[in-house]
Structure 1
Amino acid sequence: MKISVNLLVLLGLTLFVFSFSASSSDNFNWRGFVAQGLIQAEHSNYIDDEGDLTLKLTEVGLNGSYTFENSNFRVAGQVVYLNGGNRYPEGFRVDYLFFDWRAITNLDWQVNVHLGRVKNYHWLYSSTRDVPHTRPSIILPQSIYFDAFRDVALGVDGVAVVANTSNSWGDWEFNWSYGNSPISEEQTKNLIAPTSMGNIEQEYVHQGNLVWHDQVLILSAGLLDSKFEYVSGAQDFFIDGKAQVQRIILQGTYETQNWLLAFELFRERNIYNNLIFDGFINNTQSEGGYVQGRYLINKDLALTTRLDIFDLDRKDRNGETRSAQSGGQIPAYFGYQDQFTLGVSWTFAEDWQLQAEFHRVKGTGRLAPVFMPNIMHNDRKYWNIWGVQFAHWF
């Protein structure tokens, strides 16, 4: 099921009109944020090909929602400008824009149905990664939150259902969504190769997860199934092809007064047909995940530490088989990426935050492009990332 551009335009116009007609009404709410930082990733193309210190850490966003009078309907949306270097295409985009219908509201159940460009509620930070001051770190764990896939993974043009209920065992939440995400030509080159002349189209992504929680503990399990098609261009090195991604993911958090512990683990099956040559088939299983600890020194100051692990092929964790298949042209360290993070977050004034962090990275298996790795600019097995970012919200 594909949501047409016309529907998204209609949603946008609706939000725009009501933002003026109800600007002084309790039914309309809007917020915004501005974030700017400095970042460097030496000996890699993660931020830029040179690995220099750069200001490519800019995020500006405006979001709002309008609840229709005496009804169970509202409309919500967000537009952002991003400059993250090679992490994702620079420019403006609509992160989400959807109608929200409170289909059921009673003592036992609350069920909401979203239609439009809906958000991804299936991962711990998938619904908040688009707002800088709500993330635990500037850079999220790449095993789960692969930056080159940011716009695709943030949500879909389609439908979502969010259901909540409680019983004697605790509180329960079920999330389900179905749709697809547009993938631009620049994103295609970032994912496939700079020489790619075609386009990736996501046929669909189907996700669901079940969440249980009490006052301190949250546990969740989810499934994902998605299909993609590559349509080659004129004089393209690649040919028409298809890909399917299937993922199972386990998540959890444990929170006390000063500590917040979190983890997400996944196994993902990746199937590629044709694309490189007629009859090409690649069927591998990736594995990864992270464990994260966050300690609140006080209400304004928090320390974060994290270990993030990713293996491109669980049967080739050291990447040596892939390297051998390429005739040694692709180093073995492109088969994995392990990352240790240490960061600090300081809310130094009302609506102002400073984040600083350091990452020690082993391997380059989570750097774009995927199919034709950038060997020239990723010439180290071990490399570092450090960054600082100021954020203001209003």
Structure 2
Amino acid sequence: MLKSYKWTRRTASIIFLLYLSNPVVAGDNYEVNGFVTQGYFYTDNNNFYGDSQNGSFDFRELGINGAWNLKDDLLLSGQAVSRLAGGVDDGDPVIDYLLLDYRFFEDQNGSAGISFGRNKNPFGLYNKTRDVSFTRPSIVLPQSLYFDKARNLELSSDGIRLYGRKFFDSGVWDSELVAGIPRKDKNIEFAYLNRDWDGEFSSSKGYLFRTEYRPHDYSWVAGLNYGNFYFDFDGPDSPAPGAPGDGDVDIGILAFSLQYNLQHWSFTSEYMRQSISWGSLGGLYALQPKNVSESYYVQAERRINDQLSLFIRRDILYIDKNDRDGKRAEALSGRPAHSQYAFDWTLGVGWRPAKNWLVRAEWHRIEGTGWLAVQDNPVASDTEEDWDMLSLQATYRF
């Protein structure tokens, strides 16, 4: 009965979003748009977005977004998304962002402003538009940096955003800072603590800063991220052996981005280092109170014409940069060594048969399971180190 109720509620919510977004409306001061994405995933080992070893259609995104210029310097914008993603997201609509933006300064040399509400986190080259297939380079973003298993944490925060832009003869310098309350859910426990322990994250705070420079012709882009997320964990009064008690998780982020663009080519690379302090939780986490992960990718994209593009990418993740083969983590936790890293070769093609349609296909050859979601792979010992994945996706925007 409960399952039936959840399905009915989810279906009704999706129908409501479709009703709001069809037809697209636009005026002098406002605009409403939306998108629908359906994906298919097949893996020979392990699961990604549902039971992909038997072929999974459990990836679906439906979004509606709008913007309203209340005044020349005042903007209201937001986006609601229904996202089904295997065991990670159940399809219930959520607010991705909803903010009031006030641009308090603007002249020929630059601009500055502040926004209040649920702001997109300024992380990397793709985070702000990661939900819209037309604005990301692939079906699956590089999972070493853009963790789908902790998507909401990376995506947006409730608080304030300060931003500024400075024009130079040679280019443009953008900087922004988001500070407030990062979004938290059970997925953060799975992503950072490897399971849903007794207890929960009760409060959070954090900030993320990004600065970026590019010439006026966008021939290259260079960016830097620095930030920190802090979570309080309320554990049980008497934790089970090895389980966490009351404590906190402190996540520090340092990332670099670089992209070089030619007429038909784009070359992109990003690097991130995450430091995680969790020793105050006790249990297994006291055995290694701090962990530093390292991840990066390099990618080349070739635009054949306005409709067809190809890309190749190498994506690397080490959960612990000082335990690259995972042997120490295996001895401490009992989880397979290959759960501590992931090396991914990806080949992909994108085709735009019409202005509002995008069709993609990708093949992944992966060694390691470092970015697999526990929700889709609950028994770590059942996972395989080497696996292949085929992914297909169609998107319509309106």
User: Which residue is equivalent to 2:248?
Assistant: 242
8 Å Cα contact 2:273/2:294 also seen in 1: yes
User: Which residue is equivalent to 1:46?
Assistant: 48
Measured on the aligned residues, the alpha-carbon RMSD in Å equals 2.3
CA distance in 1, matches of 2:356, 2:165: 31
User: CA-to-partner distance for each residue in 1:334-371, whole Å, 9 max, x for gaps?
Assistant: 1111111111000011201101101111111122349x
1:367-382 equivalences under 5 Å are 367-369=372-374, 374-378=379-383, 380-382=384-386
CA distance in 2, matches of 1:189, 1:369: 6
- How many percent identity over aligned positions? 28
User: Which residue is equivalent to 1:318?
Assistant: 325
Q: Structure 1 pair 184/233, CA: closer, same or farther in 2 (3 Å)?
A: farther
CA distance in 2, matches of 1:353, 1:28: 25
Greater mean alpha carbon deviation, residues 166-175 or residues 347-356: 166-175
The Cα shift of 1:276 comes to 4.6
Q: Which of residues 46, 55, 58 in structure 2 aligns to 1:56?
A: 58
8 Å Cα contact 1:181/1:202 also seen in 2: no
Greater mean alpha carbon deviation, residues 115-124 or residues 360-369: 360-369
CA distance in 2, matches of 1:241, 1:369: 22
CA distance in 1, matches of 2:200, 2:386: 33
Moved over 4 A (4+): 233-237
Determine if the alignment matches structure 1 residue 120 to structure 2 residue 121: yes
Gaps of 5+ in 1: 1-18
Letter of the 1:294 partner, please give it: E
Determine if the alignment matches structure 1 residue 335 to structure 2 residue 340: yes
User: Which residue is equivalent to 2:228?
Assistant: 225
CA distance in 1, matches of 2:352, 2:270: 26
User: CA-to-partner distance for each residue in 1:12-63, whole Å, 9 max, x for gaps?
Assistant: xxxxxxx9xxx66311100011111211233223323563201112111100
Determine if the alignment matches structure 1 residue 365 to structure 2 residue 370: yes
- With normalisation by structure 1, the TM-score equals 0.87
Q: Structure 1 pair 180/41, CA: closer, same or farther in 2 (3 Å)?
A: farther
Determine if the alignment matches structure 1 residue 200 to structure 2 residue 201: yes
The Cα shift of 1:169 comes to 4.4
Higher helix share: 2
The Cα shift of 1:77 comes to 0.5
CA distance in 1, matches of 2:385, 2:36: 34
User: Secondary structure of 1:149's match?
Assistant: helix
1:142-291 equivalences under 5 Å are 142-185=143-186, 188=189, 192=193, 195-214=196-215, 215=217, 216-233=219-236, 237=240, 238-277=244-283, 280=286, 281-291=288-298
User: Which residue is equivalent to 2:29?
Assistant: 27
Gaps of 5+ in 2: 1-20
8 Å Cα contact 1:308/1:340 also seen in 2: yes
CA distance in 1, matches of 2:239, 2:34: 42
Letter of the 1:315 partner, please give it: N
The Cα shift of 1:121 comes to 2.2
Letter of the 1:136 partner, please give it: P
The Cα shift of 1:118 comes to 0.4
The Cα shift of 1:236 comes to 5.9
CA distance in 2, matches of 1:194, 1:172: 41
8 Å Cα contact 1:88/1:187 also seen in 2: no
Letter of the 1:226 partner, please give it: F
Determine if the alignment matches structure 1 residue 383 to structure 2 residue 380: no
The Cα shift of 1:391 comes to 0.5
Q: Structure 1 pair 268/176, CA: closer, same or farther in 2 (3 Å)?
A: same
- With normalisation by structure 2, the TM-score equals 0.86
- Equivalent pairs counted in the alignment come to 368
8 Å Cα contact 1:45/1:86 also seen in 2: no
CA distance in 2, matches of 1:165, 1:30: 29
Greater mean alpha carbon deviation, residues 162-171 or residues 135-144: 162-171
